Structure 1
Amino acid sequence: MIAIDNILVSDEIVQEQFVCDLNKCKGGCCVDGDAGAPLNKDELEKINEVFDAVLPYLPEESKKELQRQGRYVYDKEFGWVTPTIESKVCVYGIVDKNGIVKCGIEQAYNDGKVQWKKPISCHLFPIRIQQSRDKQTEYVNYEPREDLCSAACTLGEKLKVPVYVFLKDALTRKYGTEFYATLEATAEHLKSKS
């Protein structure tokens, strides 16, 4: 474990390699799971802010589900999450011409329509964050899905890209530049010792 203030980062984040291979997984992280994408409470308001700009990007089935379920739902196990269609694809997912599921919110962001990229849990995947019971410590863990992410693990190894490097933007967005610089320096130190 790497401790940076009250954040405990698993060693795998600096030791393992990972680069998403969308041509192989087809954006399966937007489809596979027990619930939609976990949302922080402040992200509920973000969804409300971007909703009207994102709606035109979504297919009719998603629009119907949003009307039926709402913009976010509460799950007993995971807390606030994005709704899903038939407990599968995220309601904000869109399929491109290559059959790859991408984020409608992120597409609106890329097109300059909104200022918010997507839920941080999606941006950080395959890193998952859990809080201690007393909410004083955050555990930052590397949790790729065995089948779904095998191509990404292979590509990461081939390109020699550690998880923390692949997710630099997401980690910086979540914890700030100082945190990332400390993580990077620690990773380099550990690498020089091995």
Structure 2
Amino acid sequence: MLPILQVGDVLLSPDIFTEHFCCDLEACGGACCIEGEAGAPITPAEVKDLERVLPAVWMELDPKARKVVNRQGVAYRDEDGDLVTSIVNGKDCCFTCYDERGICLCATDRAHREGRIDWAKPISCYLYPIREQQLSNGNVALNYHRWSVCKPAVKLGRELKLPIYKFLKNPLIRRFGQAWYDELLALVEALKAEGMLPKDEEQK
């Protein structure tokens, strides 16, 4: 079993290297955006970004969501005091929308993919199923968050033999930079050379 690994000042759970994941929206319907008891973690800087791009997606939001945003803004403090995106009915993220198939999407992410805005979504959403934790010594811990609604993503990831660190390549680069990700890949190669990770990455 792998120990907790470290790249720079970031501690990584071994699951990030040994478990597989690949979002399967056709199977889950985008459940991660409409389930849960609180909104997505968001930073103060991201709140400003979300407020800035909000007009571009305003009419794509559910009327109930618009009422919530008008009342309390794009974010609030949850029971733990953490800053999170506003939600409707105690669970649905205010910034969801649906495509013609009825699949739940992130309105800001869709607008970004369409080239209508220059900001996609909070990094916590982009990094999922990794959850980031700030440690008291200034380091960052990354942990794999298991959630029943993501069983289809686990199944597809195993079929594709796609480890979490590869599935989240772009989000990890956005968060920590290309040099950091290159160092992570070098660590993976060293672990393979030592026999701690299989070279074919056929993890089960």
1:70-121 per-residue CA deviation (whole Å, 9 max, x = no partner) reads 1111123151111111112100011222221110010111121111110000
Partner of 2:34: 31
Compute the RMSD of aligned alpha carbons. Answer: 1.3
How many equivalent pairs are there? Answer: 192
Partner of 1:172: 173
1:16-70 per-residue CA deviation (whole Å, 9 max, x = no partner) reads 1110111111111111222001101211111121111121322222212211221
Q: Which runs of 5+ in 2 are unaligned?
A: 196-204
Q: Which runs of 5+ in 1 are unaligned?
A: none
Partner of 1:163: 164
1:176–1:28: structure 2 CA closer, same or farther, 3 Å change rule? same
* Aligned partner letter, 1:149: C
Is 1:39–1:80's contact at 8 Å kept on the other side of the alignment? Answer: yes
* TM-score, scaled relative to structure 2: 0.89
Partner of 2:128: 125
* TM-score, scaled relative to structure 1: 0.94
Is 1:75–1:81's contact at 8 Å kept on the other side of the alignment? Answer: yes
Instruction: Map residues 1-194 of structure 1 onto 2, 5 A cutoff.
Output: 1-77=4-80, 79-134=82-137, 136-145=138-147, 147-194=148-195
Q: Distance in 1 between matches of 2:21 and 2:81?
A: 25
* Aligned partner letter, 1:124: L
Q: Distance in 2 between matches of 1:81 and 1:116?
A: 17
Question: What SS does the aligned partner of 1:94 have?
Answer: strand
Question: What SS does the aligned partner of 1:102 have?
Answer: strand
Is 1:57–1:108's contact at 8 Å kept on the other side of the alignment? Answer: no
